[in-house]
Chain A
Amino acid sequence: MITQDELRHLAKLAKLELSDDELVKLTPQLDDILEFVSQLEEVNTKGVAETHQTTGLQNVYREDAINPCEIEKELIECSPHKIRENSIVVPRIM
Chain B
Amino acid sequence: MTDLTTKTLAELSQLFQSGKVKSREITEAFIKNIEARDGEINAFITTTFDEAREMADAADARFQNGELLSPLDGMPFALKDCICTKGIRTTSASKILDNFIPPYDATVWKKLKDAGVVLLGKLNTDEFTMGASTENSAYGVTRNPHDTSRVAGGSSGGPAAAIAANFCAGTIGTETGGSIRHPANFCGISGLKVSYGRVSRYGTIPMASSLDTVGPMAKTAEDCAMIMDVIAGNDLLDSTTLPDGDLNFSRDLEKSISGMKIGTPKEYLSDAISADVMTVFESAKKILEELGAEFVEISLPHTKYAIPVYYIIAPAEISANMARYDGVRFGKVAKDASNIEEIFSKSREKFLGDEVKRRILIGTYVLSAGYADKFYKKAQQVRTLIREDFSREFQRIDAILAPISPKPAFKVGEKTSDPLEMYLEDALLSPSCLTENCGIAVPVGKSRENLPIGVQLICPATKEAHALRIAHQMEKVVKS
* A, B assembled together: yes
Chain A residues with a Cβ under 8 A of chain B: 2, 7, 10-11, 13-19, 22, 26, 29-30, 32-34, 36-41, 43, 45, 48-55, 57, 60, 62, 71, 74-75, 77-81, 88, 90-93
Q: Which of B67-75, B186-194, B337-345 contacts A (4 or more CB under 8 A)?
A: B337-345
B346 and A17 form a contact (CB under 8 A): yes
B327: chain A residues within 8 A (beta carbon): 80
Q: Does B254 contact A (CB under 8 A)?
A: no
Min C-beta distance of A1 to chain B, whole Å:
10
With contact pairs A15-B326, A48-B385 given, residues A34 and B362 touching in the complex (Cβ less than 8 Å): yes
Give bound CA distance, A16 to B356, whole Å: 11
Q: Is B365 an interface residue (CB 8 A)?
A: yes
Q: How far is the CA of A9 from the CA of B48 in the complex (A)?
A: 44
Cβ–Cβ contact B328 & A54, under 8 A: no
Residue contact A29 to B387, C-beta cutoff 8 Å: no
Q: Which residue of A lies closest to B375 (CB)?
A: A37
B419 and A33 contacting across the interface, CB-CB below 8 Å:
yes
* Mask of B341-376 contacts with A, CB within 8 angstroms, 1/0: 111111011001000011011101110100000110
Q: Taking A54-B387, A55-B240 as contacts, is the C-beta distance between A14 and B382 under 8 angstroms?
A: no
Determine if B361 and A30 form an interchain contact, defined as CB atoms under 8 angstroms apart: yes
With contacts A16-B357, A51-B380 taken as known, whether A79 is within 8 angstroms of B309 at the C-beta atoms is no
Smallest Cβ distance from B430 to chain A, in angstroms?
12
Task: List the A residue with the shortest CB-CB distance to B198.
Answer: A55
Interface residues of B in 455-476 (CB under 8 A from A): 461
Residues of B within 8 A of A7 (CB): 361
Question: Are A80 and B331 interface neighbours, CB within 8 A?
Answer: yes
| Given contacts A51-B383, A54-B387, A55-B240, A45 and B345 within 8 Å (CB-CB) | no
Chain B residue numbers with a CB within 8 Å of A14 are 319, 348, 360-361, 364
**Contacts A17-B349, A91-B339 given: A54-B100 contact, CB under 8 Å?**
no
Task: Give Cα A41 to B340, complex, Å.
Answer: 40
New contact pairs (14) apart from A78-B331, A88-B328, CB-CB < 8 Å:
A7-B361, A10-B361, A15-B341, A15-B344, A19-B349, A30-B362, A33-B311, A39-B305, A43-B382, A57-B197, A60-B239, A71-B103, A78-B101, A91-B340
Listed A/B pairs (29) with beta-carbon separation below 8 Å: A13-B368, A15-B348, A17-B342, A17-B349, A18-B357, A19-B349, A29-B358, A30-B361, A30-B362, A30-B365, A33-B420, A33-B423, A37-B309, A37-B379, A40-B375, A45-B381, A55-B197, A57-B197, A57-B239, A60-B240, A62-B236, A71-B103, A78-B102, A78-B331, A80-B330, A80-B331, A81-B333, A91-B339, A91-B340
User: How far is A53 from B330 in the complex, measured between Cα atoms in Å?
Assistant: 29
Binding site for A on B (CB under 8 A): 99-104, 196-197, 210, 236, 239-240, 242, 302, 305, 307-309, 311-312, 319, 323, 326-333, 338-346, 348-349, 352, 357-358, 360-362, 364-366, 368, 374-375, 377-385, 387, 419-420, 423, 434-436, 461
Name which residue of chain B comes closest to A7, CB basis.
Answer: B361
Q: List residues of chain A with CB within 8 A of the CB of B374.
A: 41
Contact A16 B360 (CB under 8 A): yes
> Can you list the 8 inter-chain pairs with the closest CB atoms, starting with the nearest?
A74-B103, A50-B380, A78-B330, A54-B436, A45-B381, A60-B239, A17-B345, A17-B349
**Docked complex Cα distance between A60 and B332 (Å):** 35
A78 B358 Cβ-Cβ under 8 A: no
* Chain B residues within 8 Å of A57, by CB: 197, 239-240, 242
Residues from chain B with Cβ under 8 Å of A62 in the complex = 236
Residue of B nearest to A57 (CB): B240
B420 touches A39 (CB 8 A): no
Q: How far is the CA of A18 from the CA of B329 in the complex (A)?
A: 22
Q: CA A22 – CA B449 in complex, angstroms?
A: 38
Taken together as a complex, chains A and B put the C-alpha atoms of A92 and B339 apart, in Å, by: 7
Residue of B nearest to A73 (CB): B103
What residues of B have a CB within 8 angstroms of the CB of A71 in the complex?
103-104
Is B348 in contact with A16, judged by CB distance below 8 angstroms? Answer: yes
Contact yes or no, B343 A40, CB < 8 A: no
Task: Give every chain B residue within 8 A of A13 (Cβ-Cβ).
Answer: 364, 368
Q: Give every chain B residue within 8 A of A54 (Cβ-Cβ).
A: 196, 210, 387, 435-436, 461
Q: Which residues of B contact A90 (CB under 8 A)?
A: 328, 340, 343
Which residues of A are found within 8 Å of B319, using beta-carbon distances? 14
